[in-house]
Amino acid sequence: MDSLLQIWGGGFYLLNKILFAVAEGQTEEPKRRLRISGWSVYLLGVPAWVIILLDKHDWIAAAIEAGGVPAMLFGLLNVCRTDIPPAPVFATITAWCTYGSLLLGVGYSLYDYGGLSTVSQLLEMGVMAGFLLGSYLLAKKNPAGWLFFMLMNLSMSTLMATQHKPLLAVQQIISLGFVIYGFRTAYRSRRPNPTDKA
C-alpha cells in the first residue's frame, strides 16, 4: 500500500512539474492549456500525499498539502478565466483556508513534538515556504515562484529520504530538474530580445 501511495502522489506531482515546465516558453493558448492540466493533475495527487504525511506525523507538510487545495483552485481559476479576473472574495477565502491550515499544522506540530525540536520539522518549514510562495507567485505569473519550488523540492526530497520513502525522494529530485528548466525558460522569455529593437 505504501508503494502505491508513493507512485500515486509522486506520479501526479511529477506530471504537474513537467506540464508547468513545458508551458514556459509556449505561446499563450498552449501555455494556458498546459497550466490547466498542470493544476488539475496536482489536485489528483493531494490525497496520497496527505495520507503519507499524516502517517509520518509530518503535520506541517500535511496541512500545507490539504490547505493548499484552495490555492491550487485559485491558480486553476486564474488560468481558465483569462477574460474575467477572479472575484476578490475568492482570493480572500483562499488566503484564509491556506493560512488557517498552516496555523493548525504548525501549532499541532509544536504541540506534538514539544516545540521546534526535530530536523523533520525544519524541513517541513522549507516545504511550507517553498510551496506557499511558489504557488502564489506562479498563480500571479511571476517566474520567481520557480525559485521557491526549488526550495520546496529540496526540502521534501530530504524529508522523504530521511523517512524511508525512496520513490518520493527520487520523484522530488526529478521534479527539481523540471523546476530548474521551467525557471530558466520563464526567465529567458521575460528578457527583452535585442533583435526586437528597431
Is residue 130 assigned to a domain?
Answer: yes
Q: At 172, is the pLDDT very low, low, confident or very high (cuts 50, 70, 90)?
A: very high
Q: At 77, is the pLDDT very low, low, confident or very high (cuts 50, 70, 90)?
A: confident
Is residue 198 assigned to a domain?
Answer: no
Q: At 194, is the pLDDT very low, low, confident or very high (cuts 50, 70, 90)?
A: low
Domain that holds residue 80: 2-193
Interatomic CA distance for residues 57 and 163, integer angstroms: 11
Question: Could you tell me where the DSSP H helices lie in 68-144?
Answer: 69-80, 88-113, 119-139
Mean pLDDT along residues 26-51: 90
Average pLDDT of the chain is 86
Burial 135-147 (b: 16+ CB within 10 A, else e): bbbbbeeebebbb
Nearest to 150 by CA among 182, 124, 121: 182
**What DSSP character marks residue 27?**
-
Is residue 154 assigned to a domain?
Answer: yes
Q: At 70, is the pLDDT very low, low, confident or very high (cuts 50, 70, 90)?
A: confident
Is residue 117 assigned to a domain?
Answer: yes
pLDDT of residue 198: 45
Mean pLDDT along residues 72-99: 75
Give the chain's domain count: 1
Q: Write out pLDDT tens, residues 133-168.
A: 887 787 777 889 989 999 999 999 999 999 999 999
Ramachandran class of 165: left when φ > 0, alpha when ψ lies in -120 to 50, beta otherwise = beta
The C-alpha cell at 91 is 482570493
pLDDT of residue 105: 92
Q: Is the pLDDT score of 49 beyond 90?
A: yes
